[in-house]
Amino acid sequence: MKRKLSIIGMPMDLGQMRRGVDMGPSAIRYAGIYERLKPLFEQIHDMGDIPIGRPEVVIDKESNLRNLDLVAEKSTLLAEKVDEVIQSGSFPLVLGGDHSIAIGTLAGVSKHYKNLGVIWYDAHGDLNTAETSPSGNIHGMPLAASLGIGHHSLTDIAGYTPKVKPENVVIIGARALDEGEKILIKEKGIKVYTMHEIDRLGMAQVMEETITYLKERTDGVHLSLDLDGLDPNDAPGVGTPVMGGISYRESHLAMEMLEEAQIITSAEFVEVNPILDEKNKTARAAVALMGSLFGEKLL
């Protein structure tokens, strides 16, 4: 049994245009996160939600980024809360919200590690900037911002940059990359397992290689899991679904192998949108995957 878990809700939908993802933390709680994880920890503390409010959409005139100042402001609040949780000796588990919340999560986590590793479990690279983004949506930029690439309001959250080095990142499940992201991946040498590699090698080998790769060069690993990394048949309630994704069972295997390796030191589950979902199927999948990540066994 692990010691302490702190759950932080981040009901932010400012990084994109589709409403509903702000209800993600509530949907995950309704799907039974506390009951599922309670047997695996000595203590669970649900810290509630970071206050977001109902702000109007604002387009930054200079960068054309949507809700830039608000995302930066709320990301700072999340970074402070995550920092506080780690200082207390608890494992931070953040519930999204759109994937722009990772800017705040990583800003709070990274200051506690010299070489933080990141597993980006996602259909997308989230490596866009204002210059490369087709939409201006910040939920397509959090990994770039955490690498120190992009608008200073996003890269400088918590007063330091970068939060992570490109050689310490592994993207798993990619199948929808913009041209600017492909260029950046090649320039920075970011390790990526697309669906081609997952199909060809199998999830077991992908995870074995990922774990070995990160163990050699990091002193902690953050898991940023976007539910659109899964195939839409298994996780329909996401804002940007992409067909041909990772299966539910492959995802469980990935979580089980991460738990066995004992390398994950913080995590977030993002982009659950109950408005687009089928009977809370995506939130239930998220909770089940958390069970595997934290040590739930089939037998």
What domains are there in the chain, each with its CATH number? 2-293 (3.40.800.10)
Does a cis peptide bond (omega within 30 degrees of 0) precede residue 162?
yes
Three-state SS string across 158-217, please? HHCCCCCCHHHEEEEEECCCCHHHHHHHHHHCCEEEEHHHHHHHCHHHHHHHHHHHHHHH
Q: How far apart are CA 209 and CA 225, in angstroms?
A: 18
What values do phi and psi take at 224, rounded to 5?
-115, 100
pLDDT tens digits in sequence order for the chain, 299 residues long: 679 999 999 999 998 888 899 999 999 999 999 999 999 999 999 999 999 987 777 888 888 898 999 999 999 999 999 999 999 999 999 999 999 999 999 999 999 999 999 999 999 999 999 999 988 899 999 999 999 999 999 999 999 999 999 999 999 999 999 999 999 999 999 999 999 999 999 999 999 999 999 999 999 999 999 999 999 999 999 999 999 999 999 999 999 999 999 999 999 999 999 999 999 999 999 999 999 999 999 88
Catalytic residue IDs: 99, 122, 124, 126, 139, 226, 228, 271
Are the C-beta atoms of 227 and 124 separated by less than 8 Å? Answer: no
- pLDDT tens-digit readout, 231-276: 999 999 999 999 999 999 999 999 999 999 999 999 999 999 999 9
Task: List the beta bridge partners of residue 121.
Answer: 172, 225
Q: How far apart are CA 198 and CA 123, in angstroms?
A: 12
Q: First-to-last CA distance in the chain? A: 16
pLDDT for 298: 86
